[in-house]
Structure 1
Amino acid sequence: MILIVDDAPENIISLKKVLEKNGFEVDTASSGEEALKKILKKSYVLIILDVQMPGMDGFEVAETISGYSRAKETAIIFLSAASANLNLITRGYSSGGLDYISKPVDMNILLLKVKTFYRIYEQSRALNEMQKTLREEIEFRKEAERKKDEFISIASHELKTPMTSIKGYIQLLERSLDKNDIETIRTRLHKVQNQVEKLNLLIADLLDISKIESGKLKFNKKYFCFDHLFGHITEIMQQSNPQIKIIKKGHDVGNVYGDEMRIEQVMVNFITNAIKYSPDTEEIHLSAMMQGDDVYFSVRDFGIGMSEEHQQKIFDKFYRIEETSERFQGLGIGLYICREIIERHQGTVGVHSKPGEGSEFYFTIPANPEGKNQ
C-alpha cells in the first residue's frame, strides 16, 4: 500500500487517481500528524510525502518515521515545488528520503519510480525470506549435527555397557569352571545370555535406523492372525518378566494385513518400555480391539509418566527425556523406529500420559488397507 501525504486536497486526488488506475492500493493523509497516526497502525511499501506542509513538515515526518520499527523498510519519495533549493534536497535525503520529485508532478516519472520502488521492495522481501530460510536451515543442520554427535556418544556408551558386563561374567565363569561349580556357571551363563540379547537389540535398532535413513527398510506384508500374535507376545513377555502381572484385554481382531515381524517389534517395544519405566509397579495392561476398520493396540503402565512437552517429541529421532536418561538406558531411537513401521502400515502412533501416573502408548493400523483405499 502507498500513503500519500499532502495538505492540498487537489494534489491528493490527482495522485490517488493515477496510482489506483495503475493497480496500486492507496491511502491518504492531509497532515504530518495524521500520517504518523496511520503509520503506527498500518504498514506501507511507499510514502509519497509533501515537504512543505503547515504544522509538521515532511522532513519532520520522515525523521520521526525513521524510529518506527513498522516503517523500517518503507521507502519515502519527497514532493516539493522548491526543486532548485539544494539545501531542501540535501535535507530530504538526510531525513530518510530515497528520492525527490518536483511539483508539478510528471505522472509518468512518478509511476516509473513507484514501480521501481515496488520491485525493489518485492526483491528485498524475497531476499529476507531467503535469508530467514537459510538461517533456519543452518540452525537445523547445527541441531542435527549436535543430535548426531550426542547419539554417537550415547550409542558408544550403550554398546560398551553390555560388552563390559559380558567380559566380566566370562572372567567369573573361568573361575567357576576351575572350581567345577555347575550351579554358578548356569547362573552366570544366563546373565551373559541376557547381556548378549541386549547387545543384539541395540545392534538391531542401529541397523533399522540405518535402513530407514537410506530408504531400505523392507517389509514382508501378508495376512496374519493378530489374535495369535497378541497371545504369543503376552505369553513370552510374561515368562520373561514374572515380577510384573501382565493383564490382557483383548477382543477378536482376526486377520490383519501387514508385516507380522515388524508389528511384533512395535508391540514388544511398547511392552518393554512399559516395564522399563515402571520399576515400582506390579502390573501393566495390554489391549487389542477393532475400532471401525482399524486395529487398535495399546500398552498401559503405571510408572513415571511424562509431561505434555515430552509426549509431543517422544517419537522423534534421538529424543531422550533428560530427567530419565541417566536412570534408564536407551538410544532414543526405538519409538522413532516404531513410528516409521506403523506409518508404513498407513497407521498412527500416540501416547497419553501424566507425570507420576503412567503412560498409555498405542497404535492403530488398517486391518485391510487395500479395502480401505477402495
Structure 2
Amino acid sequence: MERRILLVDDELAILLTLKAVLEISGFEVETAASAREAKSKIKSGNYHMVITDMRMESENAGLEVVRAARKAIYRPAVAMLTAFPLSDSEWRDEGADEMLVKPMNTEHLLRQIEALLVMHEDKKRLDQQKKLETLVAAAPAKATPRKPAARKAHG
C-alpha cells in the first residue's frame, strides 16, 4: 500500500531533502512550498499524512495548514516541522498529532513518522468502530415479521 504524504516547507533545500528521504523509504510524497499551496492540495488530494513547516509566508502559516488538514474528510495524520518548537499544549490545541524538531536524524524522523501513521490509523479505526456501535445502539429494533397463519386445506 502506497502511503501518501504532503510535505510543506518554504525552504527548497529542506523540502527536496526530506522528499528524497521519504521516497527512498517507500512513501509517495507531494510537496507544497507555501501554506496557500498546501491548503489547495489538501482540498483536492488525499493524504495519509501532512507534514508542515511552522514558519513560512507568516509566523503561523503552518497552523493554517494544520487547520485545513483537520477539516479534510479523509482525516490525515498531521505533524508540524519546526526549528522553533511550541509547547505541547499549543501545537496539540491546534490539532497537530506530533511536533518534529529540525534539524533531526533521518532514521529518528522515519521512526516517528511510521509510529504516528500507525497510531493515527488505529485511532481512526477506533473512532469508526465507536460511531458504528452508536448507530447500532440507536437504531430501532426491527419488528419480527409474523408468519401467516396456516390455512386448513378444504377437502
The 2-side partners of 1:136 and 1:82 are apart by 43
Q: How does 1:164-183 map to 2 (within 5 A)?
A: none
SS of residue matched to 1:114 = helix
The 1-side partners of 2:117 and 2:124 are apart by 10
Offset at 1:135?
Answer: 7.3
Query: What is aligned with 2:44?
Result: 41
Query: What is aligned with 1:113?
Result: 112
SS of residue matched to 1:35 = helix
Change over 3 Å in CA distance of 1:101–1:69 after alignment to 2: closer
* 1:197 equivalent in alignment to 2:153: yes
TM-score where L is the length of structure 2:
0.78
Mark the runs of 5 or more structure 1 residues left unpaired by the alignment: 163-195, 201-374
The 2-side partners of 1:94 and 1:54 are apart by 22
CA RMSD of aligned residues (A): 3.2
The 1-side partners of 2:72 and 2:17 are apart by 30
Offset at 1:112?
Answer: 0.9
The 1-side partners of 2:128 and 2:78 are apart by 23
The 2-side partners of 1:129 and 1:76 are apart by 19
Query: What is aligned with 2:33?
Result: 30
Query: What is aligned with 1:9?
Result: 12
Offset at 1:81?
Answer: 1.2
More helix by share: 1
What code does the residue aligned with 1:80 have?
A: T
Instruction: Return 93-102 or 115-124, whichever deviates more.
Output: 115-124
User: Does the Cα contact within 8 Å between 1:45 and 1:121 map onto a contact in 2?
Assistant: no
What code does the residue aligned with 2:52 have?
A: L
* 1:98 equivalent in alignment to 2:97: yes
Mark the runs of 5 or more structure 2 residues left unpaired by the alignment: none
Query: What is aligned with 1:77?
Result: 79
Tell me how many residue pairs correspond in the alignment.
151
Higher relative contact order (CA 8 A, sep 6+): 2
The 1-side partners of 2:135 and 2:94 are apart by 35
TM-score where L is the length of structure 1:
0.35
The 2-side partners of 1:20 and 1:106 are apart by 16
Change over 3 Å in CA distance of 1:126–1:92 after alignment to 2: closer
Offset at 1:120?
Answer: 2.0
Asked which structure has the greater CA Rg, the reply is: 1
Summarize deviations over 1:162-212 as a string: whole Å, max 9, x none: 6xxxxxxxxxxxxxxxxxxxxxxxxxxxxxxxxx317x9xxxxxxxxxxxx
SS of residue matched to 1:25 = strand
Query: What is aligned with 2:69?
Result: 65
